[in-house]
Amino acid sequence: MSWRPRSLQARQLLAASLGLVAFLALAGYALDRAFVDVASQGQRERLRVFAEFYAGAVEFARDDTLIPPEYPPDERFERPGGDLYAAVVTENGEWFSGSAQGPQLPELALLEGGQVRIDGPLPMVDSAGQAGEVIRYGRGFVLVREVGGEETETPFTVYIMEDAGSLPSQVQVFRQALWRYLGVSGIILLLLQTVVLRWSLWPLRRVVSELTQVQRGRLNRMGELHPRELQPLTESINALIDSERQNLEHQRNTMSDLAHSLKTPLAVLRTRLDSGASDAELREELETQLRRMNDMVGYQLGRAASSGHKLFAAPVEIEPHAEQIVRGLEKIYASKGVLCEFDLDSEARFHGEPGDLQELLGNLLENAFKWAGSRVLLTARPGESAANRRPGLVLVVEDDGPGIPPDRIALVLQRGVRGDERVHGHGIGLAIVQTLIDSYRGELRVGQSEELGGARFEVILPPGL
């Protein structure tokens, strides 16, 4: 199994280091090739300039005897054992510079006028008897002059030779300096890269530290000041923490309420048993208290089932669920002939569990059908939106019934309180609605419908994560 670094910093540092080494290697190779090409071109250009100098500086006597230049273009041409050699070949013989006295140079030939020849490396033997090589540049010239009233042409060839080891030695010096500087630069860049990586990954280490403190109970939630890239992560973690704490608190409250609710019926049954009542009375009391306890258990289980929702849920279309609920309600309240109208925006979506949407719409629409005279209106539209967040939702249920007096709005939202004691019900439907809306951090507004004249329930769910 291949080794893989487990740390993000190690991964980034390894990847960046490999990239940096590859870049420096490619850059070094490119610079090396460029220097070799430039140095080779410079050597050929230098030899050409020397050849043209000798071609312009040499002179010929009337008998075609060559007269060499008084001063060479470079002192190495006159220094014995130097690495530059000059030679001029004519039809009458050859002339060599002072540096060529002693070494055994390659054979030279007379070239035609304008002909250029570059050879090498060619073998030679220096004055100390050591074998070596030279690069040879040769160019043919033709001197036209008047002798005795007639034009004569004097062909000659200038050869410039340079030790073949001079260019490799220059390249070697350049390569040593190049890779030394690239190595030092690479080490500095790696150190700088390590510092930059540690600095850039510091917010991640801070998030890990805060999460560890949350796990150990030292912090209640993640901090708020984080980079934009990490903000969705910390917000999601905080939302998850808050949701789990709310669910836990809700479950505890539900079990506490259930135990407290069952205590009274159980106490009544114990009292009746101890009172010596007849079997018929005990049976009647038992049936009454069992029915009461069954209602309590059903209510508490329904409350527990609607206490939580998925933090990240797919958007749910509203119309199919609303139609299903309305079809059932129309059968139950068929005698009233209530007509339910829809005004649903095609972009409106519920971001939560389908069961929560059914519970929400079911309780609101059932309450509207119960109190409506003949009309119910369901409206749904997208709510507020924020950048990089899912949009909110606004649900409105209105009826043409008697409505709710302003002084009783807070009362009817309480558990177990009915708007009218004469109307059958448990008084927990609107309380469940309120609990559901609270779990989604929404808001429930109750008022009077301007269009229908009855009650108006408006549910506002904020933008999600």
| 128-144: pLDDT as tens digits | 778 888 889 999 998 88
Q: Are residues 331 and 257 in the same domain?
A: no
d(C-alpha 423, C-alpha 371), whole Å: 9
CB atoms < 10 A from the CB of 452, how many?
21
Confirm whether 21 is domain-assigned. no
Cα distance between residue 235 and residue 450, in whole Å: 39
Q: Supply the pLDDT for residue 419.
A: 45
How high is the mean pLDDT of the chain? 81
Lowest-pLDDT choice from 82-96, 120-134, 237-251, 431-445: 237-251
Strand order in the sheet with 393-399: 339-344, 375-382, 393-399, 455-461, 443-448
Phi–psi pair at 172, nearest 5 degrees: -65, -45
Query: Region 371-388: what's the mean pLDDT?
Result: 86
The secondary element (H helix, E strand) that includes residue 428 is: none
Residues 283 and 419 both lie in one domain:
no
Model pLDDT, residue 394: 94
Task: Looking at the structure, tell me whether residues 324 and 392 fall in a common domain.
Answer: yes
Same domain, 398 and 272: no
Identify whether 181 is part of a domain: no
**Residue 353 to residue 451: CA distance in whole angstroms:** 31
Do residues 321 and 357 lie in contact, with contact meaning Cβ atoms separated by under 8 Å? yes
Residue 423: band (very low, low, confident or very high) from pLDDT cuts 50, 70, 90: very low
Look at residue 103 and give its three-state secondary structure. Answer: coil
Residue with tokens 């807070």: 410
* 336: DSSP letter: G
Domain shared by 326 and 448, yes or no = yes
Do 252 and 351 share a domain, yes or no? no
Domain assignment of residue 323, yes or no = yes
Query: What pLDDT sits at residue 399?
Result: 94
Q: Minimal CA–CA distance to 137: which of 264, 69, 51?
A: 51
Which of 22, 9, 44 lies closest to 193 in space, CA to CA?
9
Average pLDDT of 355-378?
88
Residues 359 and 287 placed together within one structural domain of the fold: no
Distance CA 297, CA 276 (A): 28
Instruction: Give burial (CB, 10 Å; 0-12/13-18/19+) of 260.
Output: exposed
Element (H, E) at 207: helix 202-215
Q: Does residue 55 form part of some domain? A: no
366 shares its domain with 447:
yes
Domain finish residue from 305, 331, 364: 305
Task: Give per-residue pLDDT as tens, 400-415.
Answer: 999 888 888 777 776 5
Peptide bond preceding 121: is omega within 30 degrees of 0, i.e. cis? Answer: yes
Q: What is the DSSP string of 360-378?
A: HHHHHHHHHHHH-SSEEEE
| Residue at which a domain ends, from 145, 163, 181 | 163
Residues 296 and 377 in one domain: no
Q: Are residues 152 and 105 in the same domain?
A: yes
* Interatomic CA distance for residues 364 and 322, integer angstroms: 11
What Cα–Cα distance (Å) separates residue 122 from each residue in 88, 359, 364? 18, 99, 103
d(CA 417, CA 404): 13
Neighbours of 107 (CB within 10 A): 7
* pTM greater than 0.85 (yes/no): no
Phi, psi (rounded to 5 degrees) for 374: -150, -15
420: domain CATH number is 3.30.565.10
145-161 confidence digits (pLDDT tens): 776 667 778 889 999 98
Strands 150-163 and 84-90 turn out to be antiparallel
pLDDT in tens, 426-459: 445 677 788 888 888 899 999 899 989 999 999 9
Q: How many CB atoms lie within 10 A of CB 367?
A: 22
Q: Which domain holds residue 148?
A: 68-163
Rounded to an integer, what distance in angstroms lies between the CA atom of residue 240 and that of residue 215? 13
Strands 350-351, 116-125: pairing kind: unpaired
pLDDT at 416 exceeding the cut of 50: no
CA–CA dist 51, 160 (Å, integer): 6
Looking at 163, 186, 202, which one is the last position of a domain? 163
In a domain, 411, yes or no: yes
Q: In 256-382, which ranges are E strands? A: 315-316, 339-344, 350-351, 375-382
- Structure tokens that stand for 181 in this block: 């500087």
Which of 406, 408, 394, 411 is CA-nearest to residue 448? Answer: 406
d(CA 448, CA 430) in angstroms, rounded, equals 16
* Rounded distance between C-alpha atoms, residue 381 and residue 98, angstroms: 102
Per residue in 287-337, pLDDT tens? 877 876 786 676 566 656 655 555 556 788 999 989 988 887 887 777 888
Does 268 share its domain with 378? Answer: no
Distance CA 308, CA 244 (A): 9
For the chain, the domain total comes to: 3
Q: Name residue 382's beta-bridge partners.
A: 393
Placement of tokens 């290697």 in the chain: 25
**What is the β-pairing status of strands 59-60 and 66-67?**
antiparallel
Tokens of 457: 């329930």
Distances (CA, A) of 113 to 102, 160, 457: 29, 16, 108
